[in-house]
Amino acid sequence: MTSTCCVTNSLQTSVKSYPRPSSVCLGSVSCRPEPCLGYVCQPVARLPSACVPTTFRPASCVSKTFLSSSCWPSSCRPASGILSFMGPSGWYGEGAFSGSEKETMQFLNERLASYLEKVRQLEQENAELEGKIQEASQTQVLTTCPDYQSYFRTIEELQQKVLCTKAENARMVVHIDNAKLAADDFRTKYEAELAMRQLVEADISGLRRILDDLTLCKADLEAQVESLKEELLCLKKNHEQEVSALRCQLGDRLNIEVDAAPPVDLTRVLEEMRCQYEAMVETNRRDVEDWFNMQMEELNQQVATSSEQLQSYQSDIIDLRRTVNTLEIELQAQHSLRDSLENTLAETEGRYSSQLAQVQCMVTNVEAQLAEIRCDLERQNQEYQMLLDVRARLEGEINTYRGLLESEDCKLPENPCTTSSCPPCAPSTCVPQTICVPRTICVPCVPCPQGRY
């Protein structure tokens, strides 16, 4: 059974990626990789067709110099052992149609079936990979997107507590300010009352000094009155003695009566003066005593009122001091609570910011992985579409060749260029296909087992 070799792209059997074809290689199922990769493969800019006209094939892929005998399949070798080659515009082994058409079709069908099987296997592996990628993405989404609603609720509750504490602190500050103002007012009143009390005490001390002076004056006046009374008694006694002495002296003389003004009664005058002075002293004494008593009563009333007010003020001051101490203790407790809440809030914010940074980093990594996976999927999709295009072209060419085989009535003549006497063609020239072979058939090459091409 004979066969024809073809030009095809190298297919990589990796599961994860399908690289773009980059070279054109002559070979078949039994081709070994070393001579094919070393002598036959030539880089091309794009994916060529599976079967291109011989006029557009380079001489480097068909010349005897670049093709080793180990790359030729047994079907491409003639029975006589003489290599049959064409020129730069023909194929080697064009006597493939000398065999049975049924065997050729069977060979083509086997090659197509293996190719389709490989395509189905790649599609299945691609579907498995897509499923694994979806599962991994779902798992990553589930693992990297935890529920932080409980933490958010805790943060909101803490924020509400902090706001309530701030409002309570503000109210406490207002109460403390009001208490301080009231304490200042009471202190001012206390100082005013204390100054008034000191003034009243100073007035009382002054009045007491005046009373003492008046008492001394009264004692002096009483002493003077006693001395005057004694002097008056002495004068009366002396007067009586003088009168009696004069009467004794005048008893022996004549009584001479002289009309003169009545003498002034000095005793009566002195009595009147004494009565007037005593009345004046008594009046002054009573006035002073009444004024002193009235002032003392007023001062006593003021002292009693001031004492009551002072006691009430002192009790109010004590209560206010207790209230201020209690408020200061509560304020310190609120300050400590606020500091602890602020520290807790700062720690919570730091912890959640670090967790958020970690989650953001994980999200970034997952997005990068998803972008890479998406790029890989797009690239695999493009390669898969390219493979589908190649498959469609191969199927179309196979159908065309099948029609050509069915319409073939007679066997093809032997190629005159297959003899050893055929001179080698120039590597840089291409001649039309009709010179060497009237018709050519190309069969798609499929990957060899175990990664061989």
pLDDT in tens, 210-261: 888 888 988 888 888 888 888 888 888 888 888 888 878 776 554 555 555 5
Q: Which amino acid is at 116?
A: L
Write out pLDDT tens, residues 58-92. 433 333 333 344 444 444 443 333 333 333 333 33
Q: What pTM value is reported for the model?
A: 0.28
pLDDT at 358 over 70: yes
pLDDT at 389 (0 to 100):
92
Beta bridge partners of 26: 7
Question: How many angstroms separate the CA atoms of 295 and 362, rounded?
Answer: 95
* Residue closest to 12 by CA, chosen among 107, 108, 125: 125
pLDDT at 382 (0 to 100):
92
In this predicted model, which residue has the larger pLDDT, 94 or 241?
241
* Residue closest to 40 by CA, chosen among 6, 74, 14, 15: 6
Write out pLDDT tens, residues 405-419. 887 755 555 444 444
Tell me the pLDDT of the chain averaged across its residues. Answer: 70
Dihedral angle over CA of 143, 149, 150, 156, nearest 10 = 150
Banded pLDDT at 13 (limits 50, 70, 90): very low
Cβ atoms 86, 432 nearer than 8 A: no
Write out pLDDT tens, residues 278-308. 888 888 888 888 888 888 888 888 888 878 8
Q: Which amino acid is at 29?
A: V
User: 68-77, 181-190, 313-322: which has the minimum mean pLDDT?
Assistant: 68-77
Q: Which amino acid is at 5?
A: C
pLDDT at 253 (0 to 100):
54
In this predicted model, which residue has the larger pLDDT, 274 or 256?
274
